[in-house]
Chain A
Amino acid sequence: MQERLARLAARRGAPAPTARTNRPVAKTVTKPGSKQGSKTKRRHAAKGSRIAALAMSVGTTVGLSGYFSHLDASAASAGSSTLSGTATAVGANASATNSVAAGTASTTATAAAAKTTTATGTALKDGTYAGATSNNRWGPVQVQIMVSGGAIADVTALQTPSDQDRSVQINDYATPILRTETLTAQSATIHTVSGATYTSNSYKQSLQSAIDVARAATAG
């Protein structure tokens, strides 16, 4: 710690931290569209796709992490020995483009497009849609979804990196399986809520919610 603090001191005054401070603000991902306006339809869309919520274990294991572009070296090394996953990537927004980019990262741009689609779109159009091929560090991954009755009925892996030595090795030793589903919004009876609300910016909201809980508890 002492050594790292010394490094910290050395870094102080350098312009980098300041520049860094500003960067996140510019890149902050904001949810487009009015929250109010999107609420009803989003909930319906979520409920619909909930039927298709998938927790499947495809025979071949695929590094789910590879679906996302953001990976740092430490994560890679930490996860490599046990990483497994289902070749299940479900896009609730397929209706807009007739394809599911299963492997693409959720960059700001794609996330924004997806959110908008979800907010204004309706149920998925029936059909079979192949996702774009994505490369993770064990090889290419491509999945296909089948939409039936407006909901995702099946997901299959068209391509997996199972033919590669690395993956075979992983398959042999992998036990944990990550599970993927589409997000649902639920109205539920609860005692309290877990979420990120600790910053001073969200003080009012956080405080108000806590007060609401307290008030409800008192009233009950």
Chain B
Amino acid sequence: MTTIANAQQFGLHHVEFVMGMAVSIDVRDNVEREVINEVVAWLHHVDATFSTHNVESPISRLGSGEFTLDDMSDEVLGVLALCEELNTDSDGAFDVLAVPAPNGSLLDPSGVVKGWSVERAAAMMTARGAENFCINAGGDIAIRGESSPGEPWRIGVRHPDHADLSAAVITGSGRLAVATSATYERGAHIIDPTTGEPTADLASVTIIGPDLTFADAYATTVFVMGVAGLSWLMDKHPDYAGFIITRDDLTVSTPSFDQYVATDI
């Protein structure tokens, strides 16, 4: 069994169910409760705006054709523009207009919204004086600072077959994001936009880098591209490291991944 490292002497730990997932906010500084409340309110705002489960959300109405881009807020337009940048950047491998969404439309920017909203949440917390914290949004993680003075954060990458075991342990401090795309939770849910078929070669893809918005999107991109996606990552985004677990139990990683791997397991 995985054991949880010694917790902080002080600080706050809050778990909120929002955007269809559990978001865990673990702050290791003495901060006002109000900081957490702000972040939680922000995440609910994002959910209400971008949810593809709620047919009343602006993004659902855009997907259904009820609304056009002219009806969208600058916030939504900014996210959609980011989606398009990622689509171009990945030569179409990342596509928010390719996969059927829960609301029945073909517009699902969830793959960007999660990382983007968590990065914004982290920035809010930093602005309010929090220096050492970890936000885990359904398995995608943004960290800041350290877990305790002199100690980095330790993040397990879930083993595809064993939820309670790690396939690797990542350590990091300062500003770092860790995102994992995988099919073990609900089958092959990552669709190759170029074929419409689910991708099947990989069990999971983990991307590490400075910004969760991009780490999350690159995890999806690499999942679609397959192992070749790591070369794409090294070529285009050398500040992000990649770690793949294939369905036949191999791991493939970029050399830059090594610097994050804990050796004291």
**How near does chain A come to B98, taking the closest CB pair, in angstroms?**
9
Contact size range, B: 35 or more
Q: In whole angstroms, what is the CA distance A205 to B235 when docked? A: 36
Given known A-B contacts A1-B69, A20-B191, A178 and B230 have beta carbons under 8 A apart: yes
Q: Quick one: which of A106-164 are within 8 Å of B by CB?
A: 106-108, 110-111, 114-115, 118
Given known A-B contacts A70-B200, A190-B154, A207-B22, A29 and B17 have beta carbons under 8 A apart: no
Given known A-B contacts A5-B69, A24-B198, A183-B245, A190 and B91 have beta carbons under 8 A apart: no
Closest to A118 in B: B249
Between A and B, how many residue pairs show CB distances below 8 Å?
Answer: 368
Q: Which chain A residues lie closer than 8 Å to B65 at the CB level? A: 9, 12
A84 adjacent to B253 (CB under 8 Å) = no
- Give how many A residues have a beta carbon under 8 Å from the other chain's beta carbons: 105
A21 adjacent to B69 (CB under 8 Å) = no
> Is B39 an interface residue when CB atoms closer than 8 A count as contact?
no
Kindly identify which residue among A43, A64, A219 contacts B227, using a CB–CB cutoff of 8 Å.
Answer: A64
Stretch from B29-37, B42-50, B120-128, B176-184 at the A interface: B176-184
B227 adjacent to A68 (CB under 8 Å) = yes
Closest to A179 in B: B253
B204 adjacent to A182 (CB under 8 Å) = no
A192 adjacent to B254 (CB under 8 Å) = no
Q: Which chain A residues lie closer than 8 Å to B248 at the CB level? A: 91, 93, 106, 110-111, 114
A75 adjacent to B225 (CB under 8 Å) = yes
A5 adjacent to B247 (CB under 8 Å) = no
> Is A2 an interface residue when CB atoms closer than 8 A count as contact?
yes
> Is B90 an interface residue when CB atoms closer than 8 A count as contact?
yes
Q: Which chain A residues lie closer than 8 Å to B166 at the CB level? A: 185-188, 190, 193
B167 adjacent to A192 (CB under 8 Å) = no
B24 adjacent to A5 (CB under 8 Å) = no
Binding site for B on A (CB under 8 A): 1-2, 4-5, 7-9, 11-12, 16-18, 20-21, 23-25, 27-31, 35, 38-39, 42-43, 46, 63-65, 67-79, 81-85, 89-93, 105-108, 110-111, 114-115, 118, 176-203, 205-207, 209-214, 216-220
Q: A2-B69, A42-B162, A78-B228 are in contact. List 7 more A-B contacts (CB 8 A).
A: A1-B69, A43-B162, A64-B252, A70-B201, A114-B247, A195-B157, A217-B4
